[in-house]
Amino acid sequence: MEDRVPHCSVCGGVTKPDIVFFGEQLPERFLLHVVDFPMADLLLTLGSSLQVEPFASLTEAVRSSVPRLLMNKDVVGPWARCPRSKDVVQVGDLVRSVEKLVALLGWTEELKALVQRETGKLGGLDG
């Protein structure tokens, strides 16, 4: 972003990414989905330090029999402290790791189409 503060092209106000910054309250919709974790068949965690609560503890919210996949630059959280027998870790570049998973699942063409479609929505704002 070249050290510029992004502004809305319609109202001129400062724009904020759709993330929760450290110290901010989580949106209400977060609590609506916490109940889903005990019913999960698989947990994917991508690109996180797992340092900030309550998100960090969500990795423990799935049943102990559920496989957990961490794709990350480093091994963190429960994968580093107390891994489970079904845990899987893919360490390295996140984009390359996702591309590898997508290829294994046979979804490469679908991912390419999705990236092309979503990039088109940026209207030249992607760099």
Q: What does each of the 127 residues of the chain score in pLDDT, given as a tens digit?
A: 466 778 888 888 888 777 777 778 878 888 888 889 999 999 999 999 999 888 888 999 999 999 999 999 999 999 999 999 999 999 999 999 999 999 999 999 999 999 999 988 877 555 5
Which parts of 3-104 are beta strand (E)?
43-46, 68-72, 88-91
- Of 53, 78, 96, 40, nearest to 88 by C-alpha is 78
The Cα–Cα gap between 99 and 30 comes to 28
Residue 52 in contact with residue 31, Cβ under 8 Å? no
What is the predicted pLDDT for the residue at 2?
60
What is the predicted pLDDT for the residue at 3?
67
DSSP one-letter code for 90:
E
What is the predicted pLDDT for the residue at 25?
80
Burial class (CB in 10 A: 0-12, 13-18, 19+), 5: exposed
Locate 110 and state its tokens: 């679908």
What is the predicted pLDDT for the residue at 1?
43
Locate 42 and state its tokens: 């698989």
Q: List all residues 6 or more positions away from 84 whose beta carbon is below 8 Å from its beta carbon.
A: 64, 68, 78
Angle at 20 between CA 43 and CA 107, to 5 degrees: 40
Locate 102 and state its tokens: 């997508």
**What pTM does this model have?**
0.74
